[in-house]
Chains A and B, each alone.
Chain A
Amino acid sequence: MPPHPGHFFSSAFRLARASRFLLRAAKEISRAGVLAILAQSAAGLAAEKPAGAAPALVFELAPAPRPQGRIDELVFARLQQLGLEPAHGCTDAVFVRRVFLDVIGTLPTAAEARQFLQDQAPDKRAALIDQLLARPEFADYWAMKWSDLLRVKAEFPVNLWPNAAQAYHRWIVAAVRDNKPYDRFARELLTSNGSNFRVGPVNFYRALPSHEPAALARAVALTFLGERAEKWPQPRLDGMAAFFAQITYKPTGEWKEEIVFFDPDKALPAGAAPAQFPDGGAARLTPDRDSREVLADWLISPANPWFARVMANRVWSWLLGRGIVHEPDDFRADNPPANPALLDHLAAEFIRARFDVKQLMRAILNSQTYQLASIARSPQPAAEANFAFYAPRRLDAEVLIDALNQITGTTEKYSSAIPEPFTFVPDDARSIALPDGSITSSFLENFGRPARDTGLESERNNRITAAQRLHLLNSTHIQRKLEQGPKLQALLRNRTAPREVIDSLYLTILSRPPTADERRIVNARALAGPDGRTTAIDLAWALINSAEFLHRH
């Protein structure tokens, strides 16, 4: 493509810029000290540092962190006890990117990042948290999380069927969107009756390879008690299985439709164990009451020591990347919490807030602990296990491809092996909003999207592999997005000043302005490169391949 005056770094002003560049480099070095102070205050765009400034200052604040509330007191007390130093607080640029990715699974746009960085309000972080909790993407992202755990997938190994998977997903999205209290959420999943196509939550009992009472009991234990019932003594499992002995699955005249209901007349197998709560308490079942309701009422009672703790721990692990009990679905006596007082506090607050999940998230997100930088100041592994810094995590497969599409203005092709009308989704659908685990793309498969077979948190694999690296560095899929993506092209065409192009690319991809060092490196590369457009595309390529982009940090 020939250089064009409208294009980035057209050769027209290359010579002039070369001399300016040398001059400015010299000036910046001499003014380094002054600039360091100016940059902090200038319009809030604190990320720009003079030459030679420590790169850490892009990501962490200078002063040591101070506890802001009960969560921080408990975390910092534990750190002190262990002789660990917490990381410093994160900068605004880190915060805006992190909180968007963690709360709505979506990269902030350049405009959103810029607006936040320029905002002078002292409580702007709390305000942004509230805004994000109210965004529609919040429901999509957390419905995706729940759909992993609740196994929302049309086919294989379980024939949930596309129509039923959609009904199930719709119910989950609505529950998250309406912030349905978690106790009601659990109760409805456990006690609903009706058609798999019409009553979404009945699919909880269908999305399992076996419909045996013991298998249903194991799924309930994993989902709501965070326990692997495989490790339970047999009588405990048998006692819990008894609550599910009268669930019935009945086909209808409509293809693939099934009614799931509690049938009080269903004969119990001879010699079946009597119903017993997992804590050993005897349950009294009467013929006029759905036994699942008896179990659900026990489960969601504020007096139940497990229910709130398990969910509080899950939410913590979703936001911080690691549970206080870790893995978050492996509660057992010999896997104690890293900080028992912290877990007690979160569980108590969760109950006090009447199982309001957004309220729990809000408390965690506003803590200094959540807002620590990802630069550890204490040795591993203790620092990570005790939340002394925000451990970086590779972006989820869905979040990553959505971010790449948002940056470039491109879309994906999704497909399902089950050719039904319910499995066709438009190309511009976002991956986090896909309703059904059977609808997928090769990118999602390559980047560790969970198969939704087991309901285990660990099924999602966010560890980088060389195959993923190859794809990001060199695939036609990504290259085409960079070369032809309309949004990126518009960004490259509409600017004349190279400084603006660099700024825009950094804000669009990394949600921060470039440092002076980075600007200099890009300028030098432009001088050496064949043309401005190539340099700009290579810059976008380098930024999406950077560790900073590929991780939440």
Chain B
Amino acid sequence: MNLHHSADPRLWNFSAELRTLGLGGGPMTRREAIRLGLLGTAGLALSGSLASRALGAPVASAPATPRAPKARSVIQIWLWGGPCHLDTFDPKPGAGYDYYGALKDPIATNVAGIQIGELLPLLAKQADKYSLIRSMSHGINAHETASYTVQTGRPSGTRDVFPGTGAVVSLFKGYDAGYKGLLPPYIVLTELQGRFSEAGFLGGRYKPFATGGDPGQNRFVVEGVVAQGITDERQRARREFLHQLNTFERAMQSGDPRLAALAQCETDAYEMILGDAGKVFDLSQEKDAVRDNYGRNTFGQSCLMARRLVERGVPYITINYKGWDTHKQHFPIMRQKLPQLDRGLAALLVDLSERGLLDSTVVWAGGEFGRTPKVLWESPWNGGRGHWGKAFSTFVAGGGFKGGHVVGKTDAHGEEVVDRPVHPSELIGHIYELLGIDGDAKLPHPEGRDVRALPTLAEGAKRAGALADIT
């Protein structure tokens, strides 16, 4: 399904469109091509590599072959609001009550020497499948700027709004790169970020398709795909009615490209509504036992949904999992949310692994920052935790990430990173590398400026390589 992508070759005759838009005749300029969104990987200079970036080598202009990709898909579990690192993947039982609060007994995992939070017993049995980066750091304590930095790898406040990782993957692994799926290449379960546009300057073409609805409900009503109360028969009759009332199209005759695009989008839309493509969202096709295993709640069923999308080759899926901004009521909320996270994420790892998909699917879970290691017992927080951008944890698995490792270390209270600090851009760089996306590849910029998938050294990129032993 080519949801944001009416310039896809399957849908659109480039040269005819260009002619119609008054751009034909001479050779198309780069900017024109970009404006029309025609430049995919083929048109972009792929140059350099992560390795040369790390060594500070100048950016070469000759195309280089990227490494053979290990990963085909990414599932990003976005813990919206910032989960507490101490209560999840970086427990500090020795720090005292003021730090661990109500959760003082971390549990051992199936990997010797790795402990995680006590509310994550199912994940404790799967630690050989994932690694924990305990030294994530950017120092930003505001949601919108921290979210931006974690998802784009860039500092905020520069001239540009950069695309998030999903949009970049959609650019390099979506329709421009030969993706032929009917499902959109970048899907969000279920709501968009809100604070900033995921696609940044790449524009609407690379925006994710947000499903809306709730997979935890009896029927997952994906906005636009599943309509309640309208039978397939009425759908077909209505469509025919729409086609009969086409006075304007008949008058236009000439084949205006805008009307052609509209017609093609309609064909695609009905593939989702009435064809097989939309059936992926029907979770009742799964056995009850499988559904139960993931947890019968929005997050658990979102994980199951993500697995179904990966099976159909969707390159990037984000689960926006809200509710981690626990300034108050922190521990009661943890007791409610962490078991859901534990069940859904553990089931996802096991299921992907059993289906042979884990090796080709990156699973990435984390939020925009950690939380104040020292519990705020005072009023008005009464046992809450604030924002903490200096140190937080991120969970990575699959797609070439090794399991059973811990990267980096925080101090005894979880306040400062004391070993191997990892900036979000380094993690994103490794995910790109696993997908075979060159970090030095140019992004199509609306003003034609030279910007790359990852920050360059000139932009103050951090030295990569901190994650080399888990990829």
- A interface residues (Cβ-Cβ under 8 A, vs B): 54-56, 58-60, 155-158, 209-210, 215, 228, 230, 322, 326-327, 374-376, 380-382, 384-385, 391-394, 417, 442, 445-446, 448, 451, 453-454, 456, 458-459, 461, 463-471, 473-477, 479, 515, 517-518, 521-522, 525, 528-529, 534, 538-539, 541-543, 545-548, 550-551, 553
Contacts and interface: CB of A to CB of B under 8 A. Distances in A.
B258 A459 contact: no
Contact of A461 (B1, B22, B203): B203
Contacts of B168: none
A231 B196 CA distance: 28
Interface stretch (B204-212, B384-392, B436-444): B204-212
B157 A157 contact: yes
B259 A59 contact: no
Interface stretch (B108-116, B263-271, B343-351, B357-365): B263-271
A488 to B, nearest CB: 16
Interface in B1-57: 1-6, 18-25, 35
B252 A521 contact: no
B262 A547 contact: yes
B68 interface: no
B406 interface: no
A380 B223 contact: no
Interface stretch (B128-136, B237-245, B394-402, B407-415): B237-245
B241 A464 contact: no
A473 B273 contact: yes
B243 to A, nearest CB: 9
A474 B273 contact: yes
Contacts of A55: 247-248, 250-251
A539 B241 CA distance: 8
Q: 6 closest A-B pairs (Cβ-Cβ)?
A: A470-B224, A548-B248, A381-B22, A385-B22, A467-B3, A469-B265
B96 interface: no
B128 to A, nearest CB: 39
Contact of B144 (A393, A417, A517): A417
A492 B203 CA distance: 40
B238 A550 contact: no
- Give the contact-size bracket for chain B: 35 or more
19 contacts: A156-B195, A157-B158, A215-B159, A375-B254, A381-B22, A451-B196, A466-B268, A466-B272, A468-B265, A473-B269, A479-B229, A518-B245, A528-B237, A529-B237, A538-B237, A538-B241, A545-B242, A546-B242, A546-B246
B89 interface: no
Contact of A467 (B209, B238, B253, B262): B209
B196 A156 contact: yes
Contacts of B273: 470, 473-474
Contacts of A518: 245, 247
Contact of B238 (A417, A456, A522, A541): A541
Interface string B119-158: 0000000000000000000000000110010000000111
A544 to B, nearest CB: 10
A3 to B, nearest CB: 17
Given A209-B157, A467-B224, A548-B247, 14 more contacts: A58-B248, A58-B251, A59-B248, A156-B148, A157-B160, A209-B160, A230-B447, A376-B254, A458-B35, A466-B4, A470-B272, A474-B227, A475-B212, A538-B241
A463 B161 contact: no
B245 A326 contact: no
A546 B265 CA distance: 13
A326 B235 CA distance: 42
A469 B210 contact: no
Contact of B20 (A156, A384, A515, A542): A384
A465 B6 contact: yes
A158 B262 CA distance: 35
The residue among B22, B210, B273 with the most chain A CB atoms within 10 A of its own CB is B22
Given A59-B248, A445-B192, A475-B224, A466 B6 contact: yes
B213 to A, nearest CB: 9
A454 B224 CA distance: 31
Contact of A326 (B22, B157, B161): B22
B358 to A, nearest CB: 30
Nearest to B273: A474
Given A156-B196, A381-B19, A417-B195, A456 B157 contact: no
Contacts of A322: 22
A545 B19 CA distance: 27
A375 B247 contact: no
Given A56-B251, A474-B227, A453 B238 contact: no
B336 interface: no
Given A442-B210, A471-B223, A474-B224, A464 B247 contact: no
A89 to B, nearest CB: 14
Contacts of B218: none
B287 interface: no
B353 to A, nearest CB: 32
Nearest to B249: A547
B311 interface: no
A542 B242 contact: yes
Nearest to B228: A476
Contact of A209 (B25, B158, B247, B265): B158
A457 B65 CA distance: 37
A453 B148 CA distance: 14
B230 interface: yes
Contacts of B197: 445, 451, 453
A547 B204 contact: no
A515 B244 CA distance: 13
Given A209-B157, A417-B144, A466 B247 contact: no
B262 A476 contact: no
A156 B449 CA distance: 21
Contacts of B292: none
B184 interface: yes
B256 interface: yes
A39 to B, nearest CB: 15
B227 A479 contact: yes
Nearest to B196: A156
Contacts of B223: 470-471, 475-477
Contacts of B464: none
Contacts of A384: 20-22
Contacts of A158: 157
B232 to A, nearest CB: 12
Interface string B159-171: 1110000000000
A85 B250 CA distance: 20
B161 A417 contact: no
B466 interface: no
Contacts of A468: 265
Contacts of A326: 22
A392 B258 contact: yes
The residue among A442, A465, A534 with the most chain B CB atoms within 10 A of its own CB is A465
B265 A476 contact: no
A109 to B, nearest CB: 21
Given A209-B158, A230-B449, A380 B20 contact: yes
Contacts of A522: 245
Contacts of A467: 3-4, 184, 209, 224
Contact of B227 (A453, A475, A545, A546): A475
Nearest to B245: A542
A327 B446 CA distance: 12
Nearest to A483: B229
A381 B20 contact: yes
A382 B21 CA distance: 9
Given A454-B201, A465-B265, A474-B269, A479 B245 contact: no
